[in-house]
């Protein structure tokens, strides 16, 4: 019986891979079609787009978008650090272009984020199919499909964090990539402040296990030091307004019921990704290359996602968690291929079912 199963295993594997690749193509087509339809729309698609355009217009005119005195015009709050708004400023002179440009930035950032997810997976596993699966699953997640089509800050922040992680994963011993990766993590933080948790934690855990405590502490000191210097500079330039807008104004009422509702959506949308992540977290210790990085990023992204309970939060709080689950799916696929052929078939089928569920 075992010999018969072993004889048919390559054919079953091939069939499972072909079916998975079919759904990967379908998911990619859906992402591209949705992105193109959003990019061409000339007006706001989301309540948060117009305020960012307004901030970019004021910034291009040399105005302070973080005024310390809110009793004078324009009576608005700039909730986020300035990097995405800075990226918009070259396009604000043409109202017909600015929404398109902002959405193109988000779409390109989403695609490049998927590329870096693939590169991280390949660096850890040397398996290109697993790398592509991680990338395509990320682009198939409905939260990503929707949010990447908007003029919003989040995908650019995620891109910076993934690029920084990849540099540190690919060349953990290099001083140059320590600096480059650290600065990219800072760029992510100064695009969206909540990105100070998951990616830096994952990078810290990775360097600690690969190069020792000293290298990890050096990265932490670099990220914290540069972030603090930029914070002090922005506080000086804005007369203290930066803290008011980016920190104090984001302290909103919090409801655990909202957290539960969103987590139920995550479970309904990505049940097999969650199962795969749990399998990796429980059984991958000392067996799976990159386990500390993967689990640290999963933990950090989950903790960050819990802040979705704040009033005014949306699906963008789930983008890091979506990236983490995609990474773990690719890693699980590569791990089972290298160690257990029939378990690899099961992993292929689970990835196929999850992709089919995402694109349904």
Which residues is 310 bridged to in the sheet?
254
Q: d(Cα 337, Cα 330) in Å, to the nearest integer? A: 11
Mean pLDDT throughout 310-334? 95
Reported confidence tier of residue 5, pLDDT bands at 50, 70, 90? low
Which residues is 194 bridged to in the sheet?
none
Q: d(Cα 213, Cα 209) in Å, to the nearest integer? A: 8
pLDDT (tens digit per residue) in 266-300: 999 999 999 999 999 999 998 888 999 999 999 99
pLDDT (tens digit per residue) in 168-187: 999 999 999 999 999 999 99
Angle between helices 95-125 and 319-339 (to 10 degrees): 30
Q: For residue 203, which of 179, 230, 227 has the smallest C-alpha distance?
A: 179
pLDDT (tens digit per residue) in 49-101: 999 999 999 999 999 999 999 888 888 999 999 999 999 999 998 877 999 99
Q: How far apart, in Å, are the Cα atoms of 150 and each of 50, 96, 105, 305?
A: 11, 15, 9, 20
Spatial contact of 273 and 328, defined as CB atoms under 8 Å apart: yes
pLDDT (tens digit per residue) in 225-248: 999 999 999 999 999 999 999 999
H, E, C per residue of the chain: CHHHHHHHHHHHHHHHHHHHHHHHHHHHHHHHHHHHHHHCCCCCCCCCHHHHHHHHHHHHCCCCCCCCCCCCCCCCCCCCCCHHHHHHHHHCCCHHHHHHHHHHHHHHHHHHHHHHHHHHHHHHHCCHHHHHHHHHHHHHCHHHHHHCCCCCCHHHHHHHHHHHHHHHHHCCCCHHHHHHHHHHHHHHHCCCHHHHCHHHHHHHHHHHHHHCHHHHHHHHHHHHHHHHHHHHHHHHHHCCHHHHHHCHHHCCCECHHHHHHHHHHHHHHCHHHHHHHHHHHHHCCCCCCCHHHHHHHHHHHHHHHHHHHECCCCHHHHHHHHHHHHHHHHHHHHHHHHHCHHHHHHHHHHHHHHHHHHCC
Is pLDDT above 80 for 4? no
Polymer length of the chain:
360
HSE toward the beta carbon, residue 3, CA cutoff 13 A: 0
Mean pLDDT of the chain: 94
pLDDT (tens digit per residue) in 6-31: 667 777 888 989 999 999 999 999 99
HSE toward the beta carbon, residue 182, CA cutoff 13 A: 22
Phi, psi of 285 (to 5 degrees): -60, 125
Q: d(Cα 179, Cα 187) in Å, to the nearest integer? A: 12
């Amino acid at each position: 019986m075992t010999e018969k199963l072993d004889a048919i295993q390559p054919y079953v594997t091939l069939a499972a891979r072909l079916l998975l690749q079919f759904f990967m193509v379908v998911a990619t087509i859906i992402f591209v079609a949705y992105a193109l339809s959003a990019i061409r729309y000339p007006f706001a698609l989301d309540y948060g787009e117009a305020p960012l355009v307004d901030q970019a217009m004021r910034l291009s005119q040399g105005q302070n978008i973080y005024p310390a005195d809110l009793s004078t015009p324009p009576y608005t709050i700039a909730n986020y650090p300035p990097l995405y708004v800075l990226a918009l400023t070259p396009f604000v002179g043409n109202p017909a272009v600015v929404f398109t440009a902002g959405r193109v930035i988000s779409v390109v950032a989403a695609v490049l984020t998927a590329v870096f997810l693939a590169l991280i997976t390949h660096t850890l596993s040397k398996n290109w199919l697993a790398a592509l699966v991680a990338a395509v699953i990320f682009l198939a997640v409905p939260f990503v499909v929707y949010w990447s089509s908007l003029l919003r800050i989040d995908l650019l922040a995620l891109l910076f964090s993934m690029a920084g992680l990849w540099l540190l994963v690919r060349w953990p011993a290099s001083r140059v990539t320590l600096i480059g990766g650290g600065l990219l993590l800072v760029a992510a933080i100064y695009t969206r402040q909540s990105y100070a948790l998951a990616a830096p934690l994952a990078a810290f855990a990775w360097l600690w296990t690969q190069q020792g405590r000293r290298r990890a502490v050096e990265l932490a000191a670099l990220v914290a030091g540069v972030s603090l210097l930029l914070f002090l500079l922005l506080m000086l330039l804005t007369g203290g307004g930066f803290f008011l807008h980016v920190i104090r104004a984001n302290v909103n009422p919090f409801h655990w019921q909202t957290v539960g509702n969103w987590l139920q959506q995550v479970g309904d949308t990505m049940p097999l990704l969650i199962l795969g992540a749990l399998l990796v977290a429980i059984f991958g210790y000392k067996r799976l290359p990159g386990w500390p990085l993967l689990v640290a990023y999963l933990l950090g992204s989950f903790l960050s996602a819990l802040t979705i309970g704040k009033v005014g939060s949306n699906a963008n709080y789930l983008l890091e968690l979506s990236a983490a689950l995609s990474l773990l799916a690719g890693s699980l696929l590569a791990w089972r291929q290298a160690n257990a052929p029939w378990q690899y078939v099961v992993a292929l089928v689970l990835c196929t079912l999850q992709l089919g569920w995402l694109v349904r």
